[in-house]
Structure formats: C-alpha cells, structure tokens
Amino acid sequence: MKIIYISNSYFFDMDLSFTTEMFKISDFYYVLDIPIYARNSTALTLKTNQKKAGIYPAIHFHQFLEYSDFLDLSKTFIIYRCSKKTYAISNLKIQLQLSQLIKKLDPTIIHCNNFLNKNFWLFLKTNLTPKLLTVHDPLPHSGEVTKKDSRKRIFNFKHIQNILLLNKSQTENFIRSTGFSLDNLYYSRLGAYTYLRKYSNLSLHVKKPFQVLFFGRISPYKGIEELCQAFKLIGEEHSKATLIIAGRGDFWFDVTKYSNLGHICIINRFIPNSELVNLIETSSFVVCPYTDATQSGVIMSAYALNKPVIATNVGGLKEMVSHEETGLLIEPSNMNELYLSIKKLIENRILVEQMERNIENLNKTGYMSWTGIAKDILAIYSTIK
C-alpha cells in the first residue's frame, strides 16, 4: 500500500511523531504545505533565501536535516509558497505540480491532515484516489467562527467523504452539524509529541519550585483570564509560586494588571522548540483551562516530557487526561475550581511525582504510543474503498 500524507506546518509537531512510525511500516510519502505566513509554526522554524515558489524535496531546505531522525527526507516534499493569494500564478502552478506529483507516485490512498483550502482545488476535483480527512476540530472553537472557516469546511466535506476524528466525545455533534454517516467515520487519537525529547537535556534544567506553565496560541477559548485570576489568589498563599504564560497571540483583556504582580510572567511570542522544552521541564505541571476544545497538542507536548496536566472537562480532553492519574479534570469557566486544583498539586508533590510515573509508563507501551496509533491508522486505510 502506497500512502501520500498531506499536512501543513501548523501540525508539524504532531506529524514528526506520526510519520516516524509510518515510514517504518508502509510505503509512505509526506507532503508538507508551508504557507508564507506559517514558516514559523509549532515545531517548524524555516529561514530561507528561496525566492521561487514550488514543490521541493525536503533536502532542499537545510533546516529539515534537523528532523532526519523523524522523516525519510527522500520521501518528504515541501510545498513552498510565496503568495497568500489563492489565485496567484505561483499558487496555480503549485496546483499543477501537486497533481503531477500525485500522478507520478500513484498512491493507494491520500490522507489529508486537516482541512485543505482552495489552493488544493485542482487535486481534489480531478484525482479519484480514495481520500481520508483528519478533522481536528469537529466543531469550530468559540470566538473563532468565521465565514471563511465555514466555506473551507463545506469545500472539504464536498470532496472528501471519509473522516477521521481524534476523539469520540464529539461524534454526535459532528454528525448533527454535517450530516455525515457513521459508516464514513473513523477514529484515532493523539500520542505524546515525542520529537520534543530531541531538545531535552535534564542535566541542564533545575525544576523551579512551584512553576506552573500555560503554553500555546493565545485565544479567548483558552481560559487564560480565569487562570490569571486563580493564580492571583495562589500568589497570596504561596509566595514562591510562579505562572508562565507562553505563546503568540492577542490578549482580549488587560493582562498587565496580572503580569505586574511579579509572580505571573507573560512571554507573548513564538516559542522555539528548545525554549519550550526548557519551560516544560522546569515546571511542575501544565494547565489547560480551555472553555471548549477538541483534543490538545499542548497536553501531548506536556506528556512527552512526563508532565501532569490540569485540564477542563470539555470536548475530547477527558479522553486524554485521566483524573488523578495523569492530571486533574475540572469544569470549564470555574475560577474557584481552577484555583483549588492548582493549589492541590502545588501542595502535594508526592501526587505530582506519581502522575509523572504514570505518564512515563503510558508513553512506553500504553494509549499514547505512536507505534500503536500508526498501526491502527494503517488498518483504517485498508478498509477504505
């Protein structure tokens, strides 16, 4: 079975773990789309003097040598874009190049990791190879519903009939909103983002007392304001406790009244891999106080380094966090419960250490093993006609 897997730079962190296993067990080709505005995203930092748009072998960009332990660079292709406009001549040429590449490789199945935009119109209209679409967000996040997003969903659902969801909790709502049949739905899950261990050097890290970490894109549905309110109370009781909020995006509230307290630190920018690993490893645990969610790469990044997570019981997060085993589950938009859960872990280091051991065991052979995930998805491919 020959597989083409089309993804984009927003999911490069997930891809590094998944593709590593797929290259081992199948005839697998990885096509990574890099829009002009997403050259620095998740695990990827792409700096290049390349001026001409096109589809290139990954080896063309020296940064990908860094990932040669995870990717078969001879089977990895980069869609390098130089224009944001769908109908720019360079993007139209890329559509033709992609169609030619797929025709040349002649895959058994094409797996699209997340929604494709109109830049893939020609490929979706003319290629009859069976396709599978991973839908990371079965429903749009609150505060992020746009007409553009709605049109993209309609465009994808029109051309790709087989859907892969990464949690089962949102199945009913997804079917209700899209009209898909259970016959066309398949399920998988996220594993720990093990690529991060490449940047780990525990001998250089000293765990700071009671450092709590929030990281990821800044957005209203992430519950950051409630987190700041809760940690203001924590600071009044535990003078050595600190909260780090690290990620790029615009705050929708006055964050300075919290950052000026002294025990809440804001790092409002893109966080490269090495710095992210340092932040995770020097923290006691990670907090994800989302008001809604699907699944979370943040949780899987924390788990890769054996860090427990406090998360809200929304979307598929209850399938990722086992209460009092790998973290704590709380109700969303409940500042008092968030405060009490942070306080509980700060004051119970033995519990935190037990959670760390539980996560380590799951990473090795359990639910979060990418070896098992890859084998399960390969089995799904074989059932799609």
| Residue showing tokens 């997804």 | 174
Q: Do 167 and 221 belong to one domain? A: no
Three-class secondary structure of residue 225 per DSSP = helix
The reported pLDDT for the residue numbered 299 is 95
Domain count, the chain: 2
Q: Do 12 and 135 belong to one domain? A: yes
In tens, the pLDDT along 211-242 reads 999 999 999 999 999 999 999 999 999 989 99
The reported pLDDT for the residue numbered 316 is 86
The reported pLDDT for the residue numbered 96 is 96
The reported pLDDT for the residue numbered 368 is 76
- Which residues of the chain register pLDDT less than 70? 141-145, 202-209, 366
Q: Do 360 and 373 belong to one domain? A: no
β-sheet bridge partners, residue 187: 165
**pTM of the entire structure?**
0.86
Three-class secondary structure of residue 202 per DSSP = helix
Closest CA to 3 of 134, 98, 102: 102
The reported pLDDT for the residue numbered 385 is 75
Q: Do 218 and 80 belong to one domain? A: no
Domain that holds residue 375: 2-191+369-383
The reported pLDDT for the residue numbered 336 is 96
Q: Do 214 and 180 belong to one domain? A: no
**How many Cα atoms are found within 13 Å in the side-chain-facing hemisphere of 219?**
15
In tens, the pLDDT along 162-195 reads 999 998 988 998 999 888 888 899 999 998 898 8
Q: Do 330 and 361 belong to one domain? A: yes
| DSSP annotation string for 339-364 | HHHHHHHHT-HHHHHHHHHHHHHHHH
Q: Do 246 and 315 belong to one domain? A: yes
Interstrand relation of 242-246 and 285-288 (parallel, antiparallel or unpaired): unpaired
Q: Do 158 and 169 belong to one domain? A: yes
Q: Do 252 and 338 belong to one domain? A: yes
Three-class secondary structure of residue 187 per DSSP = strand
The reported pLDDT for the residue numbered 186 is 96
CATH of the domain at 41: 3.40.50.2000
| DSSP annotation string for 53-69 | -EEEEGGGSGGGGGGTT
- Residues 216/222, Cβ–Cβ less than 8 Å: yes
Q: Do 85 and 154 belong to one domain? A: yes
Q: Do 318 and 342 belong to one domain? A: yes
Q: Do 203 and 185 belong to one domain? A: no
